[in-house]
Amino acid sequence: MKVGFIGLGIMGAPMAERLINGGHELFLNTIGDVPAALLQAGGKACGSGKEVAQNAEIIITMVPDTPQVAEVLFSENGVADGLSAGKIVVDMSSISPIETKEFAKKVNALGCEYLDAPVSGGEVGAKAGTLSIMVGGPQSAFDKVKPLFELMGKNITLVGGNGDGQTAKVANQIIVALNIEAVGEALLFASKAGADPEKVRQALMGGFASSKILEVHGERMIKRTFNPGFRISLHQKDLNLALSTARAIGVSLPNTATAQELFNACAANGGSAWDHSALVRALEILANHQVAGK
């Protein structure tokens, strides 16, 4: 297929590379220069979203937040200016479910289909092609794009209509944040009580408290390896989406709000670029005690 890909950052570049390696013709656009490795693999650089959309059947966007998606799609020389009937726009960014529905309506009005397809799995999953992909939109578009999704991910689910993919991703980020907070509290409690937090973690891994967060991020908390994986600033953005959407639909998310305040405390202490497992640092400040290390 002829595929457009806009947004070639930490996640987007390896995702696009997997599509090229899968035999598809890629038309590429990003802030700055298109990575040389993608051009060497056969990708074609385009000067605008409009040019990408004119050349591609399916146009994928992978950018940081809602305003950037709006700009890529609807600004002058954006994707919308290059669309023609029958094309499919696939936004794989993590953005507002409410705004996503409006973007879909605008794209539908041009005779095109729209999928919101945010991902979970981070840079490692993007490189390995093992992302979880949560999709909202019509079955017809999903069926056409699924072969592309299968090159980028393993757990691919059509959740429902437009916006439902983004809703699933926000739900994912709520669960992840609250699990990080729970693991941080548990290991901090164990350490302050005088137990070895690593041995406590090993013991808990064999019981009902076991989780991927305890396995991976619990180890990060103990070893103090807070270089990102997934930056606190990005998780703040996702929890902002959760809390603003919750206000709009009349739902209270008290523990999500607490997790966001702990991320805010980390950011206030210079930690916006720390891995989100470093949420434990905010708890450590409150306890005047560190889980492990110096």
169 is catalytic: yes
Task: Report the alpha-carbon distance of residue 168 to residue 163 in Å, rounded.
Answer: 9
Q: List helix spans (H) across the chain.
A: 12-21, 36-40, 49-55, 66-74, 79-82, 97-108, 122-128, 139-152, 164-192, 197-204, 212, 218-223, 232-249, 254-268, 280-287
Please state whether beta strands 113-116 and 88-91 pair in parallel, antiparallel, or not at all (unpaired).
parallel
As to burial, measured by CB atoms within 10 angstroms (0-12 exposed, 13-18 middle, 19+ buried), residue 264 is middle
Provide the token pair at 294: 């110096």
**β-strand partners of 60:** 5, 90
**Catalytic residue of the set 87, 169, 223, 237:** 169
Task: Report the alpha-carbon distance of residue 16 to residue 138 in Å, rounded.
Answer: 23
| Cα R_g (the chain), whole angstroms | 20
Supply the residues annotated as catalytic.
169
